[in-house]
Each structure stands twice: as C-alpha cells, then as structure tokens.
Amino acid sequence: MAVIIDVRNCIQLLRSCSAVAGQQLHQLLLKSGHVPSSLPPSNSLLLMYARCSPLHQHDARRLFDEMPVKNCFSYNSVITSHLNSGDHHAALNIFRSMPERNTFSWNTIITGIVSTGNLDMAHSLLIEMPVKDPVACNAVLHRYVRRGRADEAFALLRTVGQCSGADASSPWNDPFVLATIVGACADWMKYDFGKQAHARMVVSKIEQDLVLSCALVNMYCKCGDLDSARYVLNGLTQVDEFSLSALIYGYASCGHLHEAIRLFDRKEEPSIAMWNSLISGCAFACCGNDAFALFARMMRSDVLPDSSTYASILNVCGFSVMVNPGQQIHGCGLKCGAVNDIIVASALIDFYSKCGLWEDACRAFRELRFHDTIVLNSMITVYSNCGQIEEARRIFDMITGKSVISWNSMVVGLSQNGHARDALGLFCEMHRLGLRLDKVAIASALSASSSICSISFGEQIFSLATVLGLQSDHVVASSLIDLYCKCGSLANGCRIFEEIDKPDEVLWNSMLIGYASNGYGHEALELLELMKTKGIKPSERTFIAVLSACCHSGLVKEGLTWFHRMQADFSVSPSAEHYACVTDLLVRAGRLEESVEFIENMPFEADAVSWTTVIGGCKAQGNEAMMQKVAKKLMEMESSHPSFALSYFHALCCQPIPGPLVGGSAAAKDVNKWLDEIIGGYDSSIREFHGGDDQKLLISLLKILCRHYGKLRSPFGSDPSQEGIAGPEMAVTKLFSSCKSSGAHKGEYGAIVHCMKNIPSENQIQATAKEVQNPLVSGRRKEALQYAQADVFNGENPTVDGNYGNLHYGKLWYQYTSS
C-alpha cells in the first residue's frame, strides 16, 4: 500500500537537508511511488545528492538510471555529482549522451573540466559551445592566465570574439572577462592587447565598475602609460585606495617620485598598503636612499611596517649594496619580531648575500625557527658562493619537496666550486627523474662539461636542449660556445655563434673570450669592430675579453690603445680586472719596469694579483733584483692584508717550470688517477710515509691537483671517514681552505712564502724529475714516492717554522709543477 506524503514539503526539505535526512526522504518518496516515476521529486533528490558529500555519487547515478523520464535538469545534476566526486570521464560521457543541452549544461561541464587542469579539453568544449557564455569563457581564460599561458588566453578570446560578433552577450562585453584579461595584460606587460580591451569597453559603452577601473589603472601603471592611468583614475566618481596605490606605485617605479608623493599626500591617513606602494615603487626604481627615507618617515608616522615593507626595503638595500641602512632595517625587524616572518627572513638573507656578507646571511638563516623551500633554495646559493659546498649539499638533501630551482641551484653551486662531475651526475639524476629541465639547468651542465673539457658530454646535453626547444636560447648558446672554445674547438664555437639570430651582448662577449683564450687576438679585434657596427655597446666584460686577447697574442700597442679608448669613447671606467689585464700584457712583453710604474699609478691600491704577475715575469726573465723588490713589497702588504701572502704563493705555484714529463710517456690520465688514489687515502703505500715529510708530499699533491682541476681540492677526496682525523693532513687542509678567509694570521703563510722564494733552478728540477720518472712510468709507485721525498736543495733541507710545523719540499713538487 502506497504511503501518502506531502511531496511539495519533501521537495522543500530536500533543498537544505543533510545527506542522512535526504536518504530518509528518498525512502519515503520511494515507498509512496513518487520516485523515480515523478520528475520533480526525482530531480530534487538528484540535486540533493550532487550538493552533499561525493560519497553519494553512486546513489545519484542509481537514481538517474532508474528514472523513466529525464530532462536537462536531471542530466545537469548527475553531471555535477560526478564532477564533485572527481569522476570527470563519467561526467563527460553523460554530457555527450544528453539529447539536448542548455547553457547551464555547457557551463557545468566546461568549468568542471577546467578544475581538472585539462585545458585542452576545456578549450575544445568552449569552441564547440553553440553560444559562448561569459561564465565558461572566463573559467577557461582565468585558468590559462593562472598557468602562465597568457598568449593562449588572448588567442582564445579573439576566436570567441569572432564567433560571437557584435552580440551584446559576447564574452568580450562581459565585465568579469574583461577584468581577467586586463589583469593578465598587467601581469604579462601586454600593453597593446590591454589597450584594445579598453577601446572595446569604450566602443561598446560598457559600464566600468570599480573592479574594472582598478584593473585598468593597474595595467596602465605596470606598462608605464601613466597618462592613461591618470585619465582612468580621474574618471572615477569615487577614488578607491587600490587604484590610488597602483598609480602611486606606477609614478614611483618610473622615477617620478615627486608626483607619487603628491598623490600620496592626498590621503590624510594613508594605510600600510599605500606606504608599501610608495616604498616598493622606489625599490623598483633602485632609489635606495629615497626608499630608506620614506621608511623612516613611515616609522615617525606611527604606522607599523609589515612583511611587504621589510621585504621591499631590504631588496633595494641589497641591490644598491647599502650595508648600513640594511643593517638598521634588520635591527628594526629584530625589535618588532618581523624577522621571524618567512618573507622577511628570505629578503634578509638575500640582502646579506648581495652585499657579500656570507657569514651574516648564514647567521640569519640559523636564527630562523621555520623555513620553507624558497629560503632553503637561497641558502644553497649562499653556501655555494662562499665555498661551503658540503653545507649547500646538506641543505639540498634536507628539502623534502625539491623544486626545479632547488636542483638548478645545487647544479650551479657544484659547477662553480670545481665539482664538475658531481654537477653532471646531479643533472643526469634530474633527467632520470623526469624533472623539467630549463635553460638554467642546461647552461649549468654545459658549464660543468667545459670545466672538465668534455665535448662529447656537452654535445649530448646540447642535443637534449634541442629536443626541449632551447637550442636558440642565448644563455644555452653562450655556454655551448664557451665549451667549444675552452676545448680548443674554436670553429664549432664560431658556427654556433653565427647560427644565432640577433646575438646579444653576452653572446658577443662569449665569442670574444673564446678568441682570447685561444690566442686569436686579431680576430677578436675584428669581432669587436663588427659588434660596434651591429649597434651592441661594449661593456666592462667586453673590454676584459679584448684586453685578454691582446695579452695572449702579444698585441701590446693595440691593448694599450683599447684600454685608453674604453673610457674616452665608450664611458666604461676601467676596473681592477682591466688594470690586471694591462699589467699582464706589459709583463708578457718583457716591459717589467713599465708594468711596475703602471701598477703604482693605478687610481686605487693594487691588489696581490697585479704584483704576483710582475713576480712571475721577473722569474721568467731572471730579473732577481726586481723580483726581490716586489716580493718585499708584497710581504709588507701582508701585515694589513693577510691574503696577499697566499696570493703570492698561488702566483708562484702557477709559474711554468719546464720538466721532462711535459708531453712525456706518462699518460696524464694514469698519473691523475694515481694522484686521486693517494689524495683519497686509498693507496696503502702512503701509510708508510707519515713521518716528518708527510706535509711535503701532501702539499705537492695538492699543487698537482690544483694545476689539473683549476681549483684546490681536499686531500681526503670523497672519503668522509677521513674528515675527522687530526694531524698534518688536516693542517694542510685548513691552510688551503683559509684562502677565502680575511682573518688569517701572518704565520700561517710565512713558511710557504719563504719556501716558494727558494725554488731550485731548472737544471736541478730536470735532474730530479728524471730520477722519479722511470719508476713512476713502470708502475713502481712506492719507489717513485721514495724518490719524491728525497731532498734537492744541494744537500740542504731548508725548514721554516710556522704554525703548521716544518714544511719540506721534495722532488715530487718540482717534477709536476709543469704537468
């Protein structure tokens, strides 16, 4: 017997009841025979299931299948239920099976597909839609913009506009669609399209509400058209704070600070948002002093800065290298606790990094209670820049959700710190994991390949770049040119350069450096002239490459000419690097006295590099008197600049001392492998030589590796078990790792400097090397080591007491100084 119930009352209850109550009503309607035979209560139940938990999707679908009669409302409800539960394929199949569809049907399926991220399918459905509705159109456009695919959004809107024509209901005339498009034009600096959208509003007489007007002001300000932004603002009946802040930021960011302040002062009590617009605008225009003065004025106005304020002011202090103001901002942040904010902490670390205050950046990081991926990525760069690559790797390993920036930062850090093979291994791991490889990763891997002169691996990386469509990217091309030129394949470097359409300054400089490093001075000067005819203005780096090319090719007259022309004709002030190039140019030409006079007439105090260059020239020409004079000057500098002594030591190490193993029968690969085994602690023969001469051997091996790899390496290699061992080896490690420290003691370097000044003559070196070469080539490594530890100072064994004990220098040192 059918149960008699009030159907209207049940339908009313289904509109707002819970899923449990809805199921009870479903049972009553089922017993009364109204469901599924009657359309209104069945549709109400479908709507209830679609509105409630996705767990009831199957109940909705079962009811839908049982209904003998269905209309658009029925289909739309069950489609919504499937979309809410995440079953988009079922929703799309039901949509395709509809006998007829209304606008709501199209909007429901398109917005649902958009939520899944399948923009291609959503785009196809929108094009298929008979009458383009603004709701569906705005959903697709908004997701395109959010995904960074603004150009596709603009193209879609043009297509939709052509389909709709001049219809008043066209999406082109919808305020929400226009607000989305104008906002995208602001974010992506699409001024022309934004102006077309504004023109469409005027022609179609679309009423510009507050949201649309604010979007227009913001777009014009970000695109630099301040007159149009002011025109839109003046047309507002009520000026809101957002529009005024956008215009203030626009004027300040373009350098019109007085006009920005005049607009700012129109408000009696400006909010923190307006203060942030003014300060961030100054920061964008790199007006550091003005931004700092505004920050001080803000503090006097009893307006407390927020995280955006601190981030803006710290960014401009870092960019302008304003150390003292930035430290004062840090103090303010400490007082109010703002440094605990992750945004402020990230800006603080970036500020200290840009100022080269690595220890302060590390301290700021250590004081953080919490950190996110962005901060950890910054610290990878910080530790890499200050040479603490192990710490950078530790930070990288502790990031749980590594982004592409995390991987790129670690690859760059490893490559810059002489760990080329580790960098390439990490790059291969990125590729194996299927991570998105961008131009930064490709360029870093190419740079690592060039540092180990591996053309084959570099060409594989470039092939991958070609597959990814990055072969024409200027950064990638510049790294590839650098690879070919460093490996001596200048022709291939020129070919890559010539294939680039409209090369920028970086590419021109890369090619100039390639010519310079391969000794093609005349070709480098011809390329410089061609660069000028193409309208590319030479920069500081350009002239470093030109002067280096002249230096390596003996073009003394041309080098001096371009050194004087760089400031007179191109307004490029010579830096220390330019002076160092000219010094090297004069020294290589044998004009030692002229080089000393040139150094003494520098507009700033000469560094150790310039003086050590002269010492090298004196040594090569046998000018002992001048070498002793310059060496004395360097030792005097050591009292105020401890790092000068170590620079002197490095310079002497790099002087070419001929030996019989240059191009000899000992394969470089085998020799370097043997050295790596000893340095890593894997060769048992080294254990027998831990007596008084162990430092002599270790320093010799360090020097060889320095010559081969271009950077100093730890004597423990990659063996972590040796890191905690105390002894002479650790002392040597500390000695070399302190080369970047500014607080080193004079005694730490005195022994090295004194010993290096007593290098034996070339004949003595060759005689000693002959004794070592035969056992080494024949595989008698232990006997070679015994020869290497013999003394070669004419029967004397000079020792110099220093903080690290007696430093002895044996035959192995001299045998490999030229290898």
pLDDT digits (tens, 9 = 90+) for 674-720: 444 444 442 333 333 333 333 444 444 444 434 333 322 333 333 33
Mean pLDDT, residues 595-623 taken together:
83
Amino acid in position 807: L
Angle (CA) 648-799-658 rounded to 5° is 55
Give residue 779's pLDDT: 54
Which one-letter DSSP state was computed for residue 365? H
Give residue 772's pLDDT: 53
Which one-letter DSSP state was computed for residue 397? H
Give residue 239's pLDDT: 83
pLDDT classification of 635: cutoffs 50, 70, 90: low
Alpha helices of 240-320 — where are they, by DSSP H? 241-253, 257-264, 272-284, 288-300, 307-319
Hey, what are 454's tokens?
């591996």
| Among 360-374, 481-495, 674-688, the least confident range | 674-688
Tell me the CA distances in angstroms from 611 to 319, 400, 641, 751, one per residue in order.
Answer: 32, 49, 14, 19
What DSSP element (H or E) covers 416? helix 404-416
Contact 505, 484 (CB under 8 A): no
Map residue 805 onto helix, strand or coil: strand
pLDDT tens per residue, range 395-426:
999 998 899 999 999 999 998 888 889 999 99
pLDDT classification of 200: cutoffs 50, 70, 90: confident
**Which residues have a Cβ under 8 Å from the Cβ of 527 and sit 6 or more positions away?**
508, 511, 512, 515
3-class SS shares of the chain: helix, strand, coil, % to 5: 70, 0, 30
Tell me what the pLDDT averaged over the chain comes to: 79
Hey, what are 579's tokens?
């002076």
Does position 802 have pLDDT exceeding 50, yes or no? no
Nearest to 143 by CA among 164, 165, 162, 119: 119
Angstrom distance (rounded) from CA 187 to CA 190: 8
pLDDT classification of 313: cutoffs 50, 70, 90: very high
pLDDT tens per residue, range 536-584:
999 999 999 999 999 989 999 999 999 999 989 999 999 888 998 999 9
Q: DSSP for 207-250?
A: ---HHHHHHHHHHHHHTT-HHHHHHHHHT-SS--HHHHHHHHHH
Give residue 766's pLDDT: 47
Q: What percent of the chain has pLDDT over 70?
A: 76
37: number of CA atoms within 13 Å, CB side? 7
Angstrom distance (rounded) from CA 527 to CA 521: 10
Angstrom distance (rounded) from CA 771 to CA 789: 12
640 φ/ψ angles, rounded to the nearest 5 degrees: -100, -20
If one compares 642 and 801, the residue with the highest pLDDT of the two is: 642
CB atoms under 10 Å from CB of 217, counted, come to 29
What is the rounded (10 degree) CA torsion for 237, 243, 247, 250?
-150
Give residue 164's pLDDT: 66
